[in-house]
Structure 1
Amino acid sequence: MRTTLRTLILSAAIMVIAAGSAFAAPVLGPGLNKIFFNNFENVILQEGQEVAGVGSTFYGILTAQNITNLDQSTTYWNSDDTVAGGFDTLTGYFLLEVTSIDGFGNFIFGAPSTDPNGIISDAELGDEVVLKLYADSTESVPDAGTVADGLTTYTDGNTWLDLTLDGGYWWSTPTIDPTSGLVQGDTWFGLNYYNSSFADIILNDPAEALFDLDVNLYGESTFQTNPNAGSEWAFISDDPAVLATPEPGTLLITGAGLLGLAGFRRRQKKNAAA
């Protein structure tokens, strides 16, 4: 099952890095930004499972293609940074476990206790970190290729942002198309910053029905079976996402600038509304 970032709202006081920095990074414009991702995902079933259910683990990778304003009339950044020149990529890795299935068949996700791919540490998983984003100015957009290659090339950049389910949510509505037999559906998620220097700006998710939480980031997605029968990735998607910057002017995102900074204030976990 695929859980991709489709409509994602992120509000943050992004750090501005001086032009002399050796680390290039994706650029955000003022106000709302639209960012486009390609995602690939796999599922690991529990012993005895024939289809995904409680205890199944989902992991995947993502890469951003471009960042524009909402009506897409202005492009602020694109993969390989052909707008500004040079290489520039924004990639990510996510890991989830089905913790329950509600009475409507919705999958409710949490963080597993360990990462079979060794990318998210057990300590981070203990704090419910499920999504890691990386920026890299040393190579062009990687090819997902094999699972081994994808996991390596999509996680070898500088850490930009880690996101946790602590005080948030992630759930989906998987269905099987009766005509094609393919898996498809929608996903909703709300996440919070983890050990980040981003300002702790809390958003009320206006589109969320199953949970009613104020979070740092929220989004909506679609997923489907990978139509490429030769691929090692079972699920894919190509979706837009929306990000908000609270301060005017073009801002520069960087992972390097976020490393080693103190003053992070962890959010208190909030209760979900049924």
Structure 2
Amino acid sequence: MQENPLPVALARSVEDFRRYLDSERARSAHTVRAYIADVENLLRFAAAEGVEKLADLELGTLRRWLGAQSESGRSRATLARHAATARAFTSWALREELIASDPALRLQAPKRDHTLPGVLHQQQVSRIFENLSEAAADGSPMPLRNRAVVELLYATGIRVGELAGLDIDDLDPDRRTLRVLGKGNKERTVPYGVPAALAVDDWLRRGRPRLANERSGPALFLSSRGNRIDQRQARSVVNDLLAALGDTAATGPHALRHTAATHLLDGGADLRAVQEILGHSSLATTQIYTHVSVDRLRKSYQQAHPRA
């Protein structure tokens, strides 16, 4: 069933907000799509209540919209995201003088569930790299690439999208650092260790030249056809390795990011240094890994202490 079109003024505001996200905020394509989908959902709800222009948007409409989302079974995390999108949208509309006051200032949503991320034990990480090294022993390009991909993900804690966007000249082999373009086009420099350096060098010497072609450009990691590796391919590599462990619920490249952060903190790294490495804009985001470390400590204590 086709949805009714938005009133002209509301539809125009959606497109203006999209351009704002694309140009001024430099949001990723995925983030822009999510924001716009939420805004369109909100404005369709508002239009059904008789709202034809943003100036008519009221706090009550926003609250009823969130209530309808809750009744449809949306999770608390999704409701929190919807509320954040609504606040971003009305804040933009106020700056653009499309509304006289911000109706979302008092909009509240349920707090997110702060579930602890899946984290691998160091023994599990060692098993992963043993499997990768065995696969790469014959010098075939794809196993060499996969070992370098996983070594770099774990060594640096970068996001899979950041990894896929890496070019060869983003590496500084002498200093063992990596230039990463993160969220909001923010650039940061991340160090990596000797095992990752050796794996990447092996890939560049023996693997990449056998896959590179006119479509490869400067991309650091390539697909079997010589194109730049995409996020789906990198996720598949990591998912297969984690599934092969057989003793973890952790999934996807983000598990390696969580693991890298937790192991850094377990080893005594400064919280702000970890924040910088991960590219978090807020220290509060990084602090979840301190909770992970405490949780792991508690479990170890309960398992080992005779009077736990």
Q: Which of structures 1 and 2 has the bigger CA Rg?
A: 2
More strand by share: 1
Report the TM-score when normalising by structure 2: 0.23
Structure having the larger proportion of residues in helix: 2
Task: Pick 1 or 2: higher relative contact order, CA cutoff 8 A, min separation 6.
Answer: 1
